[in-house]
Amino acid sequence: MLPLFFGTTGRELYGVFHAAVSLGHAGRGVVFCNPLPHEAITAHRAYRLLADSLARERIHCLRFDYLAIGDSAGESQDMNVAAHVEDISAAIDELKAFSGVRAVYLVGMRIGALLALQAAKSRDDVAGVIAWEPVLHGPAYRNELIAEASPSSPGYWDIGGLAIAEHNLDTVGALELPGVLQGVNCPVGLIVSRHHPEFDAIQPMIERGELRCRSEIVDDALPWKADSIIGAAPIPAHATSVIKSWLTSSI
């Protein structure tokens, strides 16, 4: 693992590069797109282990923090979900420049999946997107977050111990998977656990072919949902295996 800062001065993003291990990488790279920060804390381990695993399959990987989140520049109160797509784009550029890969895939979890799809639409060099446990309906997700949150400072919600601004929830609430999928020209893979809170809605859509993407239903525990006390989630072995399989062949 090689931690690094990238991006423009004053807006540096913190990333961790997992270099493909053997001589002659596969020419493929993966950028990981985080969910909202309270879920990213829990998903971090799954991402790290998956990136390590993919690197052993000769695939370069870059995990990173969006601006104003984690170790990237900026303060948490300045977090702006609407600008995360630009950060994903910067990460793609960095991975291509740094490692020389030509084909970049995006792996995004929860809202990160929808942001990855948006980024793919804005570029012509994304080879594929894996939407891992994506949010289906943004408005329902927004309501779910608020139901579990407690308001504190004006304009902010305490969500899982993290202060998230109201405008970010509005941004999230405007996203829906079917709509975001429209216009994506690269292959898309969808991975959904039976424990996904919207599984009952997603499964029929998959069966009816409404989402027009490759899909896999897994039995993993939710990789972004940790027990509030221990702050950790089980490793999603099934999904990890599927993602590796897709990325070592092609989506």
Partner 1 sequence: MAYKFDMSPNPASLDSPVVRERILNYGSNTPLTGVFTYHPQHYQRLAPCLVILNAGVVRKSGPNNLNAFLARQIAQRGLGVFRFDFAGVGDSPNRQDGLPLRDGVLRDVTESLDELEAVVGARRFVLVGLCSGADNGLRAARIEADRVIGLAMMDPTVFRTRKWLLVKLAKRLAALDFWKSVLKLRHSRIRALHDPLLGGPASAKSGTPTVEKPELYTVGLKERDEIEVCLREVRERGVALCFAFTGSWAELYNYRTQLYDVYPALGLEKDVELLYYPASSHTFAFHEHRRALASDLLRWLDRFPVAEAAPDS
- Chain residues binding partner 1 by CB under 8 A are 1-5, 9-12, 14, 16, 37, 41, 44, 48, 65, 68-71, 73-77, 152-153, 156, 158, 161-163, 227, 229-232
For residue 99, give the nearest of 29, 22, 51, 50 by alpha carbon: 29
Q: How far, in Å, are 14, 46, 141, 233, 237 from residue 220 at the CA level?
A: 29, 12, 20, 10, 7
Q: Is 235 helix (H, G, I), strand (E, B) or coil?
A: coil
Q: Report in angstroms how near the CB of residue 234 gets to partner 1 at its nearest.
A: 12
> 23 or 230: whose CB is closer to partner 1?
230
> 122 or 152: whose CB is closer to partner 1?
152
Element (H, E) at 118: helix 111-121
> 99 or 215: whose CB is closer to partner 1?
99
> 161 or 209: whose CB is closer to partner 1?
161
Question: Measured between alpha carbons, how far is 235 from 47 in angstroms, rounded to an integer?
Answer: 10
| CA pseudo-torsion sign 149, 13, 63, 28 | positive
Q: Report in angstroms how near the CB of residue 75 gets to partner 1 at its nearest.
A: 6
Q: Report in angstroms how near the CB of residue 84 gets to partner 1 at its nearest.
A: 15
Residue 53 near residue 240, CB atoms below 8 Å: yes
> 11 or 214: whose CB is closer to partner 1?
11
Q: Report in angstroms how near the CB of residue 71 gets to partner 1 at its nearest.
A: 5
Q: Report in angstroms how near the CB of residue 97 gets to partner 1 at its nearest.
A: 15
